[in-house]
Amino acid sequence: MKEKDMDELSRKIQTCQQCDLGMVRKNPVIGEGSLDSKILFIGEAPGFNEDQKGKPFVGRAGNILNELLEHINLKREDVYIANILKCRPPENRNPKKNEVDLCTPFLDAQIDIIQPQILVPLGNFSYRYLFSKYNIPIDKISVDHGKLFKKQTILGVLHFFPMYHPAVATYNPNKITILLKDFETLDNFLEKPLISIHG
């Protein structure tokens, strides 16, 4: 059932032309991973490499994400990875508000299909969108990263664990230490019975 629903959603994303990004993309980047995962990583938007391959996190930031996952004995196929935007903004500029408004219903649908127990916003745009959507007080990601937030929703209890975007480590190597520590903290939560990627 999940596969059927995601296939139908993927077809809608493939043909989406709601904003200008649909006309300049090479490939939409829908998402990738296990539909049964209890953890959903959410980045910002596709970059050049993602646009070329149609897959999330396949450039330098993707290599860092892979290493961070391996650090806590996870593989990409164990989790699900998506983005706020499904199409690459030109020159990797920041997403515009209207693009976020038009594109995030696709992400909302992915959350409904996958029904994760924990959402991990990677970076400021996904952090601000998710916290706003679920009415969680917004501070700064520099303050909230590495902390677990819990919210009762119609899907049940959802947990939120914001982190810096892995790309920060490409221009600020000191951030890799913070990312590693946050992933270790995430791993501690995943080991609890309440939050398990194994269902």
Give the rounded percent of residues in the chain with a pLDDT score beyond 70: 96
The answer to the question of residue 199 being in a domain is: no
Q: What integer is the mean pLDDT of 111-117?
A: 95
- Is residue 108 in a domain? yes
- If phi over 0 gives left and psi between -120 and 50 gives alpha, with beta otherwise, what is residue 88? beta
What was the pLDDT predicted at 198?
36
How many domains does the chain contain in total? 1
Residue 47: give the domain boundaries: 2-187
Predicted local confidence at residue 193, as pLDDT: 57
pLDDT in tens, 148-199: 999 998 878 999 999 999 999 998 988 999 999 999 999 998 876 554 443 3
Residue 133 pLDDT more than 90? Answer: yes
- What is the pLDDT at residue 169? 93
Domain membership of residue 198 (yes or no) is no
Q: In Å, what is the CA distance from 87 to each residue of 7, 35, 46, 66, 194? A: 18, 21, 6, 21, 34
The Cα–Cα gap between 199 and 197 comes to 5
Q: 163 by DSSP, 3-state: which?
A: strand
Q: What is the DSSP letter of 89?
A: P
Domain CATH for 156: 3.40.470.10
Whether 192 maps to a domain, the answer reads no
- In this prediction, residue 134 carries a pLDDT of 95
State the average pLDDT over residues 77-99.
96
List Cβ neighbours of 5 (8 Å cut-off, separation of 6 or more): 113
Residue 44 within a domain: yes
Q: Is residue 194 domain-resident? A: no
Average pLDDT, the chain: 93
Q: Is 120 helix (H, G, I), strand (E, B) or coil?
A: strand
Whole-prediction pTM: 0.94
Write the pLDDT tens digit of every residue in 46-57. 999 999 999 999
